[in-house]
């Protein structure tokens, strides 16, 4: 895992800055999506998560679900466009999983992407990009 500032940001993932979500390209071309350690730390206590169902269409930057935490209520923004082929039902039953293991058991949805090459251009992936993002988010967290 890549530790940048106080955040775990695995280097093999792509990150959507606006939504603070991550994308992992699986070997079969599908994309596993979840919330980054930054999102989890900023949300604090996560109370409720609702995910869009299988076969729902998602657009990059638009919601693949909603979340309620002790600090925030709103959409979970997708890092890629496509069709949801699987939702992590255990996450909706136990939202704390996303806090305990955001990059493992806490994944949210699996998406069959429709425009992956274009979508990746809008995501953070390099060490320089992730470092700048983590520093900015650390400041945001300290100012709360």
Domains and CATH numbers, the chain: 3-115 (2.40.50.100)
Q: What's residue 140's pLDDT?
A: 81
Q: What's residue 144's pLDDT?
A: 63
Q: Which residue has the higher pLDDT, 5 or 106?
A: 106
Average pLDDT, the chain: 93
Q: What's residue 58's pLDDT?
A: 98
Instruction: Give the Cα separation of 87 and 107 in Å (integer).
Output: 9
pLDDT at 121 exceeding the cut of 70: yes
pLDDT at 133 exceeding the cut of 80: yes
Region 45-54 average pLDDT: 95
Q: Which residue has the higher pLDDT, 144 or 38?
A: 38
pLDDT at 1 exceeding the cut of 60: no
Region 94-116 average pLDDT: 96
For residue 105, the tally of other CB atoms under 10 A from its CB is 14
Instruction: Give the Cα separation of 34 and 121 in Å (integer).
Output: 18
Distances in Å between the Cα of 89 and the Cα atoms of 54, 60, 77, 138 are: 11, 22, 18, 31
Q: What's residue 141's pLDDT?
A: 79
Region 67-93 average pLDDT: 94
Region 22-49 average pLDDT: 94
Confidence of residue 3 (pLDDT cuts 50, 70, 90): confident
Region 49-73 average pLDDT: 95
Interior angle at CA 73, CA 70 and CA 78, nearest 5: 125
Provide the 3-class DSSP secondary structure of residue 5: coil
């Amino acid at each position: 895992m890549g530790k940048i500032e106080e955040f775990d940001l695995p280097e093999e993932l792509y990150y959507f800055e606006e939504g603070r979500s991550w994308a992992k390209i699986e070997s079969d071309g599908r994309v596993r999506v979840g919330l980054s350690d930054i999102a989890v730390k900023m949300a604090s206590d996560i109370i409720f998560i609702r995910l869009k169902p299988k076969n729902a269409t998602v657009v990059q930057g638009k919601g693949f679900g909603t979340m309620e935490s002790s600090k925030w209520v709103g959409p979970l923004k997708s890092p890629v466009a496509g069709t949801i082929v699987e939702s992590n039902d255990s996450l909706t039953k136990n939202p704390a999983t996303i806090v305990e293991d955001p990059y493992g058991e806490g994944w949210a949805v699996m998406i069959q992407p429709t425009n992956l090459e274009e979508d990746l251009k809008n995501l953070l992936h390099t060490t320089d990009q992730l470092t700048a993002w983590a520093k900015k988010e650390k400041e945001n967290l300290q100012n709360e």
